[in-house]
Amino acid sequence: MPVQILMPALSPTMEKGKLAKWLKKEGDKVKSGDVLAEIETDKATMEVEAIDEGTLGKILVAEGTDDVLVNAPIAIILGEGEKLGDAVAAAAPAPKPSAAPVASTPSPAAVAAPISSGNGSRIFASPLAKRIAKQKGIDLSALKGSGPHGRVVLKDVENAKPGAAPATKAAGMPQGMSDDAVLKLFEAGSYDLVPHDGMRKTIARRLTESKQTVPHFYVTVDISLENLLPLRERLNLQAPKDKDGKPVWKVSVNDFIIKALAMALIKVPEANVSWTDSAMVKHHHADVGVAVSIPGGLITPIIRMAETKGLTQISTEMKDYAARAKSRKLLPQEYTGGSTSVSNMGMMGVKNFQAIVNPPQATILAIGTGERRSVVRGNEIVIEQQMSVTLSTDHRAVDGALGAELLGAFKMYIEEPGLMLV
What's the pLDDT tens digit per position in 35-72? 999 888 777 778 888 877 889 999 999 998 988 888 88
385, amino acid identity: Q
Whether 97 is in a domain gets the answer no
Query: Are 362 and 273 in contact, with CB atoms under 8 Å apart?
Result: yes
| Residue 238: CB atoms within 10 Å | 8
Residue 16 to residues 65, 207, 209: CA-CA distances in angstroms?
11, 19, 19
Whether 105 is in a domain gets the answer no
Query: Does 233 lie in the same domain as 327?
Result: yes
Query: Does 338 lie in the same domain as 309?
Result: yes
Which of 90, 124, 148 finishes a domain?
90
Whether 335 is in a domain gets the answer yes
Q: What are the pLDDT digits (tens) for 189-211?
A: 888 888 888 888 888 888 999 99
Element (H, E) at 88: helix 86-90
pLDDT value for 70: 86
Query: Are 36 and 63 in contact, with CB atoms under 8 Å apart?
Result: no
Query: Does 139 lie in the same domain as 64?
Result: no
Q: Which residues pair with 47 in a beta bridge?
A: 38
pLDDT value for 127: 61
Q: Is 330 helix (H, G, I), strand (E, B) or coil?
A: coil
Query: Does 214 lie in the same domain as 188?
Result: no
CATH number, position 63: 2.40.50.100
Supply the pTM of this predicted model: 0.67
* Domains of the chain: total: 3
Buried b (16+ CB within 10 A) or exposed e, 333-344: ebbbbbbbbbbb
- Asked whether the CA dihedral 62, 63, 66, 70 is positive or negative, the reply is positive
Task: With CA atoms as reference, report the closest residue to 335 among 18, 15, 42.
Answer: 42
Task: Return the active site residues.
Answer: 395
Q: What is the DSSP string of 124-170?
A: EB-HHHHHHHHHHT--GGG----SGGG-B-HHHHHTSPTTPPPPPPP
Whether 237 is in a domain gets the answer yes
Whether 185 is in a domain gets the answer yes
Whether 205 is in a domain gets the answer yes
Query: Does 149 lie in the same domain as 272?
Result: no
108, amino acid identity: P
Query: Does 130 lie in the same domain as 68?
Result: no
pLDDT value for 421: 84
Strand pairing report for 302-303 and 292-294: unpaired
Report the distance separating Cα 240 and Cα 259, nearest Å. 22
Q: Which residue ranges in the chain fall short of pLDDT 50?
A: 92-112, 116, 118-120, 165-174
Report the distance separating Cα 87 and Cα 78, nearest Å. 9
pLDDT value for 115: 54
Query: Does 348 lie in the same domain as 225?
Result: yes
pLDDT value for 102: 35
Query: Does 181 lie in the same domain as 51?
Result: no
Query: Does 412 lie in the same domain as 309?
Result: yes
pLDDT value for 230: 96
Query: Does 365 lie in the same domain as 297?
Result: yes
Whether 99 is in a domain gets the answer no
Q: Which residues pair with 280 in a beta bridge?
A: 275
Query: Does 359 lie in the same domain as 236?
Result: yes
pLDDT value for 154: 72
Whether 95 is in a domain gets the answer no
Q: What share of the chain is helix, strand, coil (3-state, %, to 5)?
A: 30, 25, 45
Burial classification of residue 157, based on how many CB atoms lie within 10 Å of its CB (0-12 exposed, 13-18 middle, 19 or more buried): buried
Terminal CA-to-CA distance of the chain, rounded, Å? Answer: 61
CATH number, position 123: 4.10.320.10
Q: Which domain holds residue 121?
A: 110-167+175-193
Task: With CA atoms as reference, report the closest residue to 257 among 149, 387, 352, 107.
Answer: 387
pLDDT value for 101: 34
CATH number, position 343: 3.30.559.10
